[in-house]
Chain A
Amino acid sequence: QKEVEQNSGPLSVPEGAIASLNCTYSDRGSQSFFWYRQYSGKSPELIMSIYSNGDKEDGRFTAQLNKASQYVSLLIRDSQPSDSATYLCAGQGGSEKLVFGKGTKLTVNP
């Protein structure tokens, strides 16, 4: 069973702080990883994609991938109340299907 594990949280950070979200995966064949943000009652919205080891930055977001440790993370700098949502980590291996974790609920307190 190919799995993606996330700490379900909730994770609470003050406004302006760095939020750190983590994800591990079991399938060593996974090559592509994605972070989605999902507001309550809404559909997932793509934030970041990462395909190779290292860091990838996009604005306030940084994704990190370590294939040896089977670990993916998302850092959100200068967190804003509008970042409050559930963050979903997804992996993609030999199949094109995405395997999602259960998500981590983030609350940013003003």
Chain B
Amino acid sequence: DTGVSQDPRHKITKRGQNVTFRCDPISEHNRLYWYRQTLGQGPEFLTYFQNEAQLEKSRLLSDRFSAERPKGSFSTLEIQRTEQGDSAMYLCASSPGQYQPQHFGDGTRLSIL
């Protein structure tokens, strides 16, 4: 059983650039979640999908952030006009159903120069 896959593992970019991350969930998991984690903190929820429907978005998700899951399989998270404060580990998780355990991918570490 392949785990949650995230790409890229690391991204370094200049302030103001746009970045896009991809997440492939565990096969047949219909729930997909995005979290952000900074040093010394627990992961913070950003958004989640049930199949292709985006069901909840955090207030943390400013209008510079957008997420999609067009066919109910993989998901992308885009950050436009990146800022220093966007530097973090972006984690994707998936689960097979409502209130089932969420399994995390290895994350994408974003560094803004």
Residues of B participating in the A interface, judged by any CB pair closer than 8 Å: 31, 33, 35, 40-45, 48, 55-56, 58, 89, 91, 98-99, 101-107
| Interface locus among A60-68, A74-82, A93-101 | A93-101
Other-chain residue from B33, B102, B105 in contact with A46 (beta carbon distance below 8 A):
B102
B89 to chain A, nearest CB (A): 8
Chain A residue nearest to B106 in the complex (CB): A43
With A96-B56, A96-B98, A96-B99 as contacts: A42 and B43 at CB distance below 8 Å: no
Measured CA separation A32–B97 after assembly (Å)? 13
Interface size on A, residues (CB 8 A): 24
A45 interface hit (Cβ, 8 Å): yes
Taking A96-B48, A96-B98 as known contacts, 17 extra A-B pairs with beta carbons closer than 8 A to each other, sorted by chain A number, are: A4-B42, A34-B102, A43-B104, A43-B105, A44-B104, A46-B103, A51-B99, A95-B56, A96-B31, A96-B55, A98-B35, A98-B43, A99-B45, A100-B42, A100-B44, A101-B42, A103-B42
Interface centre among B33, B40, B42, B45 (most CB of A within 10 A): B42
A 33-65 to B, binary, CB cutoff 8 A, 1 in contact else 0: 010100000111110010100000000000000
Measured CA separation A60–B55 after assembly (Å)? 37
Residues of A participating in the B interface, judged by any CB pair closer than 8 Å: 4, 31-32, 34, 36, 42-46, 49, 51, 88, 90, 92, 95-103
Measured CA separation A24–B44 after assembly (Å)? 17
11 interchain pairs, CB-CB under 8 A? A31-B99, A36-B104, A43-B105, A43-B106, A44-B104, A45-B104, A88-B42, A98-B102, A100-B42, A102-B40, A102-B41
Chain B residue nearest to A47 in the complex (CB): B101
Chain A residue nearest to B45 in the complex (CB): A97
Q: Determine whether the beta carbon of A97 is less than 8 Å from that of B104.
A: no
Point out the residues of chain A lying under 8 angstroms from B89, CB to CB. 43
